[in-house]
Amino acid sequence: MNNITKGLIAGIIFGIVSILPMLAMKFGDKTAAMTASFISRFAIGFIIFNMQLPMHGWLKGALIGIVLSLPDALVTKKYAPIIGLGLIGGIVCGIFAG
């Protein structure tokens, strides 16, 4: 399996994991919030598998997870859950990416 396929799978799984807790929450525009969350987390999973950086996989995942989570955290002012999920998901994806 090539890295693009692995990245697509990781992105879809991470995207789904990110929207599951949102199903029970109330938002002004729930569809937009869930779509944005899915796309953001999908990008983290996909990029980790397809970007070469000279570091361990888990560290690359942590870095990409944090950097790509920062804009959402700044806009929503929900720093801990958004950056935390990006960090944890990034590390997990990075471990699998090697």
Main-chain dihedrals φ then ψ at residue 83, nearest 5 degrees:
-70, -40
Alpha helices in 20-76 (DSSP H): 30-50, 57-76
**Residue 18: both structure tokens together:** 């990110």
Residue 27 banded pLDDT, cuts 50, 70, 90? confident
Number of H helices, E strands in the chain: 4, 0
- Which candidate, 8, 2, 72, places its Cα nearest to that of 87? 72
pLDDT of residue 98: 81
Q: Which domain holds residue 81?
A: 3-97
pLDDT of residue 28: 86
- Which candidate, 70, 49, 74, places its Cα nearest to that of 61? 49
pTM score, two decimals? 0.89
Number of folded domains in the chain? 1
